[in-house]
C-alpha cells in the first residue's frame, strides 16, 4: 500500500532552473575554482602551461585532449589561454535531474516465485522483451553498461551481483559510487530498468544479465560539467587503460542551455561535453541520453540546446506511456507507444522512443493488480502508468521499489535493448548498432525519431 498520498503535480524543471551557475569560491577566500580545458592534443607542454598559470590538473586525458584543472588564481584562464592551443571555461554546476513524480512502495518483503511485480512492468511488454528472451535466449550477458547518474544502491536484491563494484567509481568529491540522498535514488531506478536480476523476486530488467558499472557524476540530481565529462571518458576507456570498459553509456540526465547570447563559458562547456561523447564513439561505445522532460519541440527551439541529448554522436531517447494501464486490468489501456505528456520531441534530435511512463490519468480512483505468485498491489490507477523499478528505500531495505516516470526511465529501456543486440553481435560498430536499432524500431515521427524500440525485432533481424 502507499505510505502517503502523492500530488500529481510534477516539477519538470523550468528553464530558469536549468541555467547554470559557475563554481565560484567564497568572496575573498582563496578557494580554487575548477576549469574544463581542451587542446588539439594534450601532452607535457600543456601540463607545463597549466602549472605556469598557477593551476593543478585533476584530470588529464591525453587521447581526448580534455582536462580539468583547479586554480585559486583569478587570472588562471586568461594566463593558460596565452598558450595558444589551450581553450577552456570555468566549470558550472547544473541541476541535471529536476525533481519529478515518484511513488514509493511501502518497504516490505517481496514474495518469491516469478518476479513479484512483473504484471506491473508494462515496459517489458512494450518493447517485447519476454518475446526476445524466448526467441533467442539473449539476456545481455557479457555486455557492460555504465550508468552515469547519482548513487547506485548495489546491495539491492535485484542488483546485487550485477554491479561491477570494482570498476564503479564516483567523480563527486566526498561520496562513493553507492551514496546519494533521499529514498528514491534515481541511478538505482535506472540500473534496475536495465539489469534487475532474473531472481524470482521483485522486478526484472530488460537485459537481466548485463553488467552495470556505477559512475556517480551527480549528487541529488546536481553536478558539474567536469564530473560528467570525466565520467564519460572513464566509462569509454578500456579496463586495460584504467577505464570501465563499457559497451554502452546511459545518461538519464539533461539540461537546456541558451545558444550563444554571450554565454561563452556555457557554450564552451557544451562543446566539451560533445567532444567527450564523440570520444566514446571513437572507442566504439554507444552513448544513450534522455531527450528531456520539458515538452519542448526540439525541431523549433533554435535558441536552445538540450545537453547531452544533442551532444556529439550519441543518441537521444523520448518517452511514451499508457493512460489507464491498470483500469480494468488485464484489459486496460495497452497503448504503450503513446507519447508521454512531458517528453521532448523533434525529428532533428530524437533517435528512438521507449517506455518512460506517464501520470496524466485524471482522478484518484484505486486500481488493483495481481502480484506473483499471490497477493496484489492497490494504489491510485495513474500510478500504474509509471515505470516500477528498484529504489533505495527509507532504511536501505534491499527490497524496496518505486514508480517513476520520465525520459530518464525511457533511456535505460533503449540502452538495455542495445545491450541485447551487443550480446548477439559483440563486434558490432557503434554506427551499425545505431542503424540496427533504428531499422528494427516501429513507426516514426517527431515523437519517435526512427521509431519505438523493439527488442524482439532487434535480436532476430
CA–CA distance from 282 to each of 22, 141, 276, 332 (Å)? Answer: 30, 23, 10, 45
Which residues make Cβ contacts (< 8 Å) with residue 435, sequence separation at least 6?
Answer: none
Given 189, 289, 408, 436, the catalytic residue: 408
Which residue is it, cell 547570447? 261
Given 149, 154, 237, 385, the catalytic residue: 149
Given 61, 156, 186, 450, the catalytic residue: 186
Residue 47 · residue 56 · CB < 8 Å: no
Which residue is it, cell 536484491? 157
3-state secondary structure 163-176: ECCCCCEECCCCCC
Catalytic annotation present for 432: no
Residue 345 · residue 382 · CB < 8 Å: no
Residue 339 · residue 296 · CB < 8 Å: no
Catalytic annotation present for 365: no
Q: For residues 348 and 373, what is the distance between their CA atoms, to the nearest angstrom?
A: 45
- Residue 318's CB is within 10 A of a number of other CB atoms, namely 32
Catalytic annotation present for 408: yes
Among the listed residues 170, 107, 193, 169, the one whose alpha carbon sits nearest the alpha carbon of residue 389 = 193
* Range 384-398 burial, b when 16+ CB lie within 10 A, else e: bbbbbbbbbbeeebb
Which triple of cell numbers denotes residue 373?
A: 505468485
What residues act catalytically? 149, 186, 408
Amino acid at each position: 500500500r502507499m505510505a502517503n498520498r502523492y500530488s500529481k503535480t510534477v516539477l519538470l524543471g523550468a528553464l530558469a532552473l536549468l541555467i547554470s551557475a559557475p563554481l565560484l569560491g567564497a568572496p575573498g577566500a582563496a578557494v580554487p575554482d575548477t576549469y574544463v580545458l581542451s587542446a588539439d592534443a594534450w601532452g607535457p607542454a600543456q601540463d607545463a602551461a597549466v602549472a605556469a598559470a598557477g593551476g593543478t590538473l585533476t584530470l588529464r586525458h591525453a587521447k581526448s585532449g580534455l582536462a580539468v584543472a583547479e586554480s585559486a588564481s583569478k587570472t588562471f584562464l586568461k594566463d593558460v589561454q596565452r598558450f595558444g592551443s589551450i581553450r577552456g571555461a570555468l566549470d558550472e554546476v547544473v541541476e541535471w535531474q529536476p525533481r519529478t513524480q515518484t511513488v514509493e512502495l511501502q518497504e516490505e518483503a517481496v514474495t518469491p516465485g516469478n518476479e513479484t511485480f512483473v504484471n506491473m512492468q508494462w515496459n517489458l511488454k512494450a518493447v517485447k522483451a519476454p518475446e526476445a528472451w524466448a526467441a533467442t535466449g539473449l539476456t545481455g550477458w557479457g555486455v557492460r553498461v555504465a550508468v552515469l547518474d547519482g548513487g547506485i544502491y548495489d546491495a539491492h536484491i535485484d542488483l546485487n551481483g550485477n554491479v561491477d563494484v570494482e570498476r564503479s567509481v564516483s567523480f563527486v568529491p566526498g561520496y562513493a559510487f553507492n551514496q546519494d540522498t533521499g529514498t528514491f535514488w534515481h541511478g538505482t531506478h535506472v540500473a534496475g530498468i536495465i539489469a534487475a536480476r532474473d531472481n524470482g523476486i521483485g522486478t526484472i530488467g530488460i537485459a537481466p544479465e548485463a553488467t552495470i558499472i556505477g559512475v556517480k557524476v551527480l549528487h541529488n540530481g546536481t553536478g558539474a560539467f567536469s564530473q560528467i565529462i570525466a565520467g564519460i571518458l572513464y566509462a569509454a576507456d578500456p579496463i586495460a587503460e584504467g577505464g570501465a570498459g563499457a559497451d554502452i553509456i546511459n545518461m538519464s540526465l539533461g539540461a537546456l542551455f541558451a545558444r550563444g547570447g554571450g554565454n561563452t563559458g556555457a557554450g564552451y562547456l557544451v562543446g566539451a561535453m560533445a567532444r567527450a561523447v564523440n570520444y566514446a564513439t571513437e572507442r566504439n561505445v554507444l552513448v544513450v541520453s534522455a531527450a528531456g522532460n520539458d515538452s519542448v519541440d526540439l525541431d523549433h527551439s533554435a535558441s536552445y540546446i538540450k545537453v547531452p541529448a544533442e551532444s556529439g554522436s550519441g543518441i537521444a531517447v523520448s518517452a511514451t506511456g499508457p493512460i489507464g494501464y491498470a483500469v480494468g486490468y488485464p484489459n486496460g489501456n495497452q497503448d504503450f507507444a503513446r507519447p508521454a505528456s512531458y517528453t521532448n520531441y523533434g525529428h532533428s534530435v530524437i533517435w528512438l522512443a521507449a517506455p518512460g511512463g506517464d501520470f496524466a490519468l485524471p482522478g484518484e480512483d484505486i486500481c488493483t493488480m495481481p502480484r506473483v505468485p499471490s497477493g496484489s498491489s492497490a494504489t491510485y490507477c495513474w500510478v500504474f502508468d509509471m515505470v516500477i523499478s528498484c529504489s533505495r528505500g527509507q532504511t536501505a531495505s534491499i527490497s524496496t521499489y518505486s514508480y517513476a516516470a520520465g525520459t530518464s526511465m525511457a533511456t535505460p529501456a533503449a540502452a538495455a535493448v542495445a545491450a541485447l543486440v551487443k550480446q548477439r553481435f559483440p563486434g558490432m560498430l557503434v554506427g551499425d548498432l545505431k542503424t540496427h536499432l533504428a531499422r528494427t524500431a516501429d513507426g516514426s515521427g517527431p515523437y519517435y525519431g526512427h521509431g519505438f524500440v523493439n527488442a524482439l525485432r532487434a535480436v532476430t533481424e
